[in-house]
Amino acid sequence: MEKKRGKLYLIGAGPGDPELLTLKAVRALQQSDVVLYDRLVDPGTLAFAKPGAECIYVGKLHGEQEQTQEEIFDLIRQHALSGKVVARLKGGDPMIFGRGAEEWVLALEHGIEVELIPGVSSAIAVPALAGIPLTYRGVSRSFAVITGHCHDAGSPEWSRYSGLDTLVVLMGAKNRVSVAQSLIAAGRRPDEPVAFVERGTTSREHVITATLGEVAEAGVAVQNPAVFVIGRVVELRPRLFAPAETP
């Protein structure tokens, strides 16, 4: 008799604040025997796990991403094929630069049932909660979300981003200088406003504003994790956070 296979939940943990976890995500965590969680998952989120669940940290170190990903694949196979319910808990949304689709494919190849539970994406929520809406009538009608560590500086690929109103760069703090230089070379204005939102949605959130040119000249210090926003919408932040006028 064939042994019953478990199940894989691909869960988005949201941008940091555990209260931004969805109700469906909480229910899935309460049903899971094993939780594989990333570096950007707030420890408070693990409080929703089922009592006695095995919580395994699988955060990726720079330069070891591929090795760690193979270990994650092995853990999914090992636990789900032994009949356990596995929660793969990822920061933000698992389908946005999270390799969630790859883990989904792997599970299906081994006959493991998969259920996706989307998360609140840091690309949208972090700027918004910092007073930077990605769209605003008369200011921004389009935006793009790009990764900051998979593009070569000077590549013609950057030209596709020159005409968009707003850009959000995830995982771009480390390569911010080359990203800014590439965007300026592609046609974006050096005086365009930018913002970095460090540790967004948490009690340690910090917002840094500057211009694209200042970033390109290595004049802006930033600490990871941070969301990099480029565009005129950054100028809305003082208006949204302006103190209320007293009558």
- Are the C-beta atoms of residues 86 and 9 closer than 8 Å to each other? yes
Distance CA 37, CA 35 (A): 6
Residue of 118, 215, 224, 220 whose CA lies nearest to 167: 215
Q: How many CB atoms lie within 10 A of CB 215?
A: 27
Distance CA 94, CA 212 (A): 29
| Residue found under tokens 């910090």 | 206
Alpha helices in the chain (DSSP H): 23-31, 65-81, 100-109, 122-129, 176-185, 212-216, 237-240
- CA 126 vs CA 56, 143, 168, 185, 197: distances in Å: 26, 15, 10, 27, 7
**CA angle, 153 then 154 then 156, to 5°:** 120
CA 27, 30, 33, 37 dihedral sign is positive
| Residues designated as active site | 38, 60, 171
Structure-block tokens of residue 19: 């209260």
